[in-house]
Amino acid sequence: MNLPKIEDLDFQDKKVLLRADLDIDVPKDGIGRLEALLPTLKILTQKAAKITIIGHKGRPEGRELKELSLDTVSVALEKLLVQEWGEEKVKNIDLEVSENLRFDSGEVENNEHYAEDLAEDCDVYINEAFAASHRKHASIIRLPELLPSAAGLRFIEEVENLEKVLKDPKRPVLLIIGGIKKDKLDYLEDFKKFADKILIGGRLPEYMPEEINDKKLLVAKLIMDKEDITIHAIEKFEEEISKAGTIVVAGPMGKCEEEGHMMGTKRVFKAIADSQAYKLAGGGETQKTISILGLTEKFDWISVGGGASLEFLAKGTLPGIEALLN
């Protein structure tokens, strides 16, 4: 996929509008998404006159809600930059984080005039918000129509690593989906096009028929309180993992924030980590769980996007990608 790159743009002494993944609750979620922003910021700060970072947090539905302000994210980013680059360098950078885009309904409504307001006085647009690029929102879709545009460094890495699952992967390809978000199941038919086996855990088995005659699907049974998968399901999952050449995991197997419901996630994730397969994980909850279990270094790629990475695997593209390409 030949995405426009930062290196292709002239941003010397220009005003850059940088769309970032800022939908984090600091410090609860950690600063992984901010760290992912650093390589792109490093390049931009070497040449750009001014950088305005835009992003969203939560779903305020056009209301200004203090608890969804990006103030805490802005402070966390500044601390990270000082830690990485030193206070003196950060003082000499003209960089600001704008307030939550979704405080204005024009963002979610993909309003053309709202996008024009965002683009005003800016010269260049960079999309470094892979995790939001499955949304048809103004800052994702409209801005590339108004300004010379490119994908951020992390954005391009996301696409390259996800494409490895779709283009000549090592087989069998195993997809493991969990968590509580039912909409993951909407992509099942698309997933079957590239996956040899799909394992379904978390709370998702509740939304599946009791009798399934599809050999590609393996749906876990749940324990009595439905907060974890059964021992038998764990063993079946481990067996499939041991045979896989490529593994994608999105979502935990149970309510793993509680020690009593950690077994399914712990054993399944450890089996994935110990596998010789190409291993890819996606989504904030998955990333956080992998980190807690101390398995981060054993994965080949951990995507910042949950819904975005799954939609990319299902469709082979995203609205944000198409906006940049067009």
Q: Bridge-partner residues for 280, per DSSP?
A: 248, 301
Read off the tokens for 77: 């980013």
Over residues 234-244, mean pLDDT: 97
Alpha-carbon distances, residue 162 vs 185, 205, 210, 278, 319 (angstroms) = 19, 25, 32, 11, 16
Over residues 254-259, mean pLDDT: 87
Cβ pair 100, 132 in contact under 8 A? no
pLDDT of 30 above 80: no
Q: Please give the mean pLDDT across all residues of the chain.
A: 94
pLDDT at 285: 86
Domain at 6-154: CATH code: 3.40.50.1260
Alpha-carbon distances, residue 291 vs 9, 73, 162 (angstroms) = 36, 21, 20
Name the segment(s) of the chain with CATH classification 3.40.50.1260. Answer: 6-154, 168-315
Percent of the chain beyond pLDDT 90? Answer: 88
Surface-to-core class of residue 264, CB atoms within 10 Å of its CB (0-12 exposed, 13-18 middle, 19+ buried): buried
pLDDT at 33: 87
Which ranges of 86-130 would DSSP assign to H, the alpha helix?
87-91, 105-108, 112-119
pLDDT at 112: 96
CATH 3.40.50.2300 fits 168-315, yes or no: no
pLDDT of 51 above 80: yes
Over residues 73-99, mean pLDDT: 94
Percent of the chain beyond pLDDT 70? Answer: 100
* Separation of alpha carbons 142 and 145, rounded Å: 5
Read off the tokens for 290: 């992998």
Please tell me whether residue 295 adopts helix, strand or coil conformation: coil
10-48 b/e (C-beta count within 10 Å ≥ 16 → b): ebeebbbbbbbbbbbebeeebbbbbebbbebbebbbeeb
Q: Which of 143-147, 272-276, 284-288, 319-323 has the lowest mean pLDDT?
A: 284-288
Over residues 90-113, mean pLDDT: 96
pLDDT at 310: 94
* Separation of alpha carbons 165 and 196, rounded Å: 11
**What are the pLDDT digits (tens) for 196-234?**
999 999 999 999 998 889 999 999 999 999 999 999 999
* Separation of alpha carbons 57 and 272, rounded Å: 31
